[in-house]
Amino acid sequence: MAKDEQRFARHATLTAILPNLRKQEETGELTLPVLFVLLVLVSVLLYFAVSLMDPGFVLSDDCDLQFTLGIAEETQDMIPQTTKSIRLRRCGHCLQPMRSKHCQTCQHCVRRYDHHCPWIENCVGERNHRWFVLYLAVQLVVLLWGLYMAWSGFSHAPTWQLWLRTNGVLLGAAAVVAVLSLTVLLLLGSHLYLVSLNTTTWEFMSRHRISYLKHCGVDENPFDRGTLRNLWGFFCVWEPVVWEHVYFKQGNDPI
């Protein structure tokens, strides 16, 4: 279903902008059409990259290695003796690191789990989240550009009946592109907002059920390092983060 929606969205976008592209090609203005086609190709490549790449699956060997290297003991040393140690959850496959979650659809545990996206038929996690946000940004530019070109492609007519008969298909395609643009805009805005707070969709929606967050206040986020550092860490830092270290350095009493 998600792939059908993707194909329908691309078809509606192309239907809305092809007449305008033809006009620009006829007048010899090829820069904008070529740039638009390149953006569409980048959007398609990002879609397949985000869909096919590993979002950060947790393997049982990774967990065994993590505890072999003493990360759990380092964490325990940072916890006051009067508090209870954090209880790492165990699913049917592994001991989950902090901020990971077992996806019922993929049947895998995903590091820094955000959500399972039916649009790309894959989880959004530690390894592909930034690419997912970039994909949304490029997709939004393509849709808004297509909406503008559709709007400028409407032809004038003396009556409403004749105008609708002349521009009916273009109007329908433009309406679909407008709805898709609004949807992608809301998705991109919500993800950028959560990234600026260094929280995930899953943590934002289910913090009352997450063991390491349910004891925190409503406005308290143990992973928040400030907006600029959060954005820098998300977009520019590629190394995996041991979130247990970040969590306990904030001085929260773990459960």
Say if CB 199 and CB 221 are below 8 A apart. Answer: yes
Say if CB 158 and CB 213 are below 8 A apart. Answer: no
Instruction: Return the closest-CA partner of residue 172 out of 254, 49, 180.
Output: 180
Dist. CA 212–CA 64, nearest whole Å = 21
Residue 102 β-bridge partners: 109
121: left (phi over 0), alpha (psi -120 to 50) or beta: left
CA 65 to chain CA centroid, Å, is 29
Q: Is 117 a catalytic residue?
A: yes
Q: Catalytic pick from 94, 109, 117, 123?
A: 117
Name the residues annotated as catalytic: 117
